[in-house]
A = this chain, B = another copy of it.
Amino acid sequence: MESPARPAPVPTALLYYVAFSQLLGLAVVAMTGTWLGVYRGGIAWESALQFNVHPLCMIIGLVFLQGDALLVYRVFRNEAKRTTKILHGLLHLFAFVIALVAQSSRDPRLRPGLVAVFDYHRKEGYADLYSLHSWCGILVFVLFFVQWLVGFSFFLFPGASFSLRSRYRPQHVFLGGAIFLLSVGTALLGLKEALLFELGTKYSKFEPEGVLANVLGLLLAAFGAVVLYILTRADWKRPLQAEEQALSMDFKTLTEGDSPSSQ
């Protein structure tokens, strides 16, 4: 019997799966860039090309970086918990900022500078936030923001008690995974929207753009699945470090009276 407090080696299979997830994630980002570059005229902050900032930044922020932020506890198994937490929080922060940039390319009211609001030439009859993609997107944004704030104040801010943290942790973990999956789903809806708007009936003729985007969609789903697999495999969970182990034992002794494990 080994004590779980001793630094355990990273399981080899975990390393392969993480490497595979990174390959998939990079392929998704590269393919999004290719799609926008080859079929949508590329990316620029000005003119109509500004809209292309949206899919690329969303894929980088809310898919790739968010996925990687969830994996840090599996990859950095033996580093101090606090360091890993800070990395987790920072990656989410980067993801959020990049997503905000992405959104600002869509919605000038979010763009830095008030002038941009007047800059906006609204197409006649065009409404904001009417589609399922946008509804899911707003939901992701709100949940992501609330989750980050609550996570920060519970786990990084020194105020929260150990007991409160222990009770909130499983909810935080589940909600984090759910927000990530909803992000992937929202990206798929957005991709579909972009294809149907632009290609229309040509989509059904196996246009190269449609095929490329379909492959991109499958890769997106695969990235989500591999990240989910790594997160849910019980034997790949981060082992408790020495000091966490001691705290956890104390806590168990203290609370054994009022929260029986059989409940």
**Do A132 and B11 have beta carbons less than 8 Å apart?**
no
The one of B205, B232, B262 in contact with A174, judged by C-beta atoms closer than 8 angstroms, is B232
**Do A225 and B178 have beta carbons less than 8 Å apart?**
yes
Within the complex, the shortest CB–CB distance from A47 to chain B, in Å, comes to 22
**Do B132 and A192 have beta carbons less than 8 Å apart?**
yes
- Taken together, the copies of this chain in the complex come to 2
Interface hits, A233-263 → B, CB 8 Å: 233-235, 262-263
Given contacts A191-B132, A217-B135, contact A204 B8 (CB under 8 A): no
A114-151 Cβ-contact flags toward B at 8 Å (1 or 0): 00000000000111001111011001000000000000
Task: Compute how far the CA of A262 lies from the CA of B133 in the bound complex, rounded to whole angstroms.
Answer: 44
| A185 interface contact, C-beta 8 A | yes
| A84 interface contact, C-beta 8 A | no
Given contacts A188-B189, A191-B132, contact A170 B234 (CB under 8 A): yes
**Do B205 and A130 have beta carbons less than 8 Å apart?**
yes
Q: Which A residues contact B (CB, under 8 angstroms)? A: 2, 8, 11, 125-127, 130-133, 135-136, 139, 170, 174, 177-178, 181-182, 184-185, 188-189, 191-193, 195-197, 201, 203-206, 210, 213-214, 217-218, 221, 225, 228-229, 232-235, 262-263
A126: chain B residues at CB < 8 Å are: 204
**Do B192 and A233 have beta carbons less than 8 Å apart?**
no
Given contacts A174-B229, A192-B193, contact A205 B135 (CB under 8 A): no
Task: Compute how far the CA of A22 lies from the CA of B186 in the bound complex, rounded to whole angstroms.
Answer: 24
Within the complex, the shortest CB–CB distance from A166 to chain B, in Å, comes to 13
A178: chain B residues at CB < 8 Å are: 225, 228-229
**Do A135 and B214 have beta carbons less than 8 Å apart?**
yes
Task: Compute how far the CA of A233 lies from the CA of B170 in the bound complex, rounded to whole angstroms.
Answer: 8
Q: Please name the residue on chain B nearest to A4 by beta carbon.
A: B262
Task: Compute how far the CA of A192 lies from the CA of B136 in the bound complex, rounded to whole angstroms.
Answer: 12
Q: Please name the residue on chain B nearest to A211 by beta carbon.
A: B130
**Do A203 and B131 have beta carbons less than 8 Å apart?**
yes
A191: chain B residues at CB < 8 Å are: 132
**Do A204 and B127 have beta carbons less than 8 Å apart?**
yes
A234: chain B residues at CB < 8 Å are: 170
Of all A-B residue pairs in the complex, the 5 with the closest CB atoms, nearest first, are A132-B217, A196-B196, A2-B262, A132-B214, A130-B204
Within the complex, the shortest CB–CB distance from A13 to chain B, in Å, comes to 10
Within the complex, the shortest CB–CB distance from A78 to chain B, in Å, comes to 14
Q: Please name the residue on chain B nearest to A123 by beta carbon.
A: B204
Task: Compute how far the CA of A2 lies from the CA of B189 in the bound complex, rounded to whole angstroms.
Answer: 48
Task: Compute how far the CA of A234 lies from the CA of B232 in the bound complex, rounded to whole angstroms.
Answer: 11
